[in-house]
Amino acid sequence: MAAPLAIPTIDITALLTNTSTTQDKQNVAVLNAFTTYGVFYITSPTHPLFTTENTNQVLDATKRLFDLDAEQKAHIPKIQPGGFTRGYVPIGGESGSATKELKEGFSYGYEWSEEALKAKQAGGSLNGLQGPNAWPAQASLDQLDQGHKDAFKGTLQEFYLHVCDIAKGLLKGISLALALPEEELSKYCTTSETISFMRLFHYLPYADQGHTSQIGSSAHTDWGFLTLILSPSKTVGLQLFHENKWQDVPSRDNSLVINGGDYLSLLTGGKLISPLHRVVSNGKEERYSMCCFYYPDYDAKIPLLVQDQEVHGQAASGNYSLLRDQRDEEDAKQGQDASAAGKEGQDARSVATKLLNGDINFGDYIISKWTQVYRKGGAY
Ligand SMILES: O=C(O)CCC(=O)C(=O)O
Ligand SMILES: [Fe+2]
Q: For the chain, what percent of residues have pLDDT higher than 70? A: 88
Contact (CB, 8 A) for 137 and 76: yes
Which one, of 119, 179, 185, 101, lies nearest residue 374 by Cα?
Answer: 101
Identify the pLDDT of residue 380. Answer: 41
- State yes or no: pLDDT of 237 exceeds 70: yes
Phi first, then psi: give them for residue 47, nearest 5 degrees. Answer: -90, 135
Identify the pLDDT of residue 153. Answer: 96
Identify the pLDDT of residue 281. Answer: 84
Is 238 among the domain residues?
Answer: yes
Task: Label residue 206 by pLDDT band (50, 70, 90).
Answer: confident
- Rounded to an integer, what distance in angstroms lies between the CA atom of residue 263 and that of residue 366? 11
Whole-prediction pTM value?
0.93
CA distances from 324 to 133, 222, 353, 371 (A): 28, 12, 11, 13
Helix extents (H) in the chain: 13-17, 23-36, 52-67, 70-74, 114-122, 138-145, 152-177, 262-267, 314-317, 329-333, 338-357, 362-373
Identify the pLDDT of residue 134. Answer: 96
Contact (CB, 8 A) for 259 and 23: no
Is 379 among the domain residues?
Answer: no
- Rounded to an integer, what distance in angstroms lies between the CA atom of residue 247 and that of residue 59? 24
Helix extents (H) in 229-300: 262-267
3-state secondary structure of 262: helix
- Rounded to an integer, what distance in angstroms lies between the CA atom of residue 19 and that of residue 1? 41
Nearest 5°: the CA angle 249, 252, 255 is 110
Mean pLDDT, rounded, for 234-250: 94
- The residue ranges of DSSP E strands in 178-311, in sequence order, are 197-203, 215-220, 226-230, 238-242, 245-248, 256-260, 277-280, 287-294
Contact (CB, 8 A) for 49 and 156: no
**Distance from residue 343's CA to the centre of ligand 2 (Å):** 28
Ligand index nearest the alpha carbon of residue 274: 2
Is 182 among the domain residues?
Answer: yes
CA-CA-CA-CA dihedral for 294, 299, 302, 304, to nearest 10: -100
ipTM reported for the complex, 2 dp: 0.99
Identify the pLDDT of residue 219. Answer: 92
Closest atom of ligand 1 relative to the 103 alpha carbon: 1
b/e map 167-192, b = 16+ CB within 10 Å: bbbbbbbbbbbbeeeeebbbebbeee
Is 380 among the domain residues?
Answer: no
Number of domains into which the chain is organized: 1
CATH number for the domain spanning 184: value is: 2.60.120.330
Give 357-380 pLDDT, tens digit per residue: 889 999 999 998 888 888 886 654
Is 376 among the domain residues?
Answer: no
Give 45-100 pLDDT, tens digit per residue: 999 999 999 999 999 999 999 999 999 999 999 998 888 999 999 988 888 888 88
Average confidence score pLDDT of the chain: 87
Closest atom of ligand 1 relative to the 199 alpha carbon: 9
DSSP conformation class of 7: P
Phi first, then psi: give them for residue 256, nearest 5 degrees. Answer: -110, 145
Pocket of ligand 1 (CB under 6 A): 201, 217, 222, 229, 231, 238, 277, 279, 289, 291
Q: For the chain, what percent of residues have pLDDT higher than 90? A: 60
Is 367 among the domain residues?
Answer: no
Range with the poorest average pLDDT among 56-65, 164-173, 272-281, 333-342: 333-342
**Distance from residue 160's CA to the centre of ligand 2 (Å):** 17
Is 307 among the domain residues?
Answer: yes
Print the domain residue range for 216.
9-316
Identify the pLDDT of residue 337. Answer: 45
Is 113 among the domain residues?
Answer: yes
Give 17-27 pLDDT, tens digit per residue: 876 656 778 88
Ligand index nearest the alpha carbon of residue 201: 1
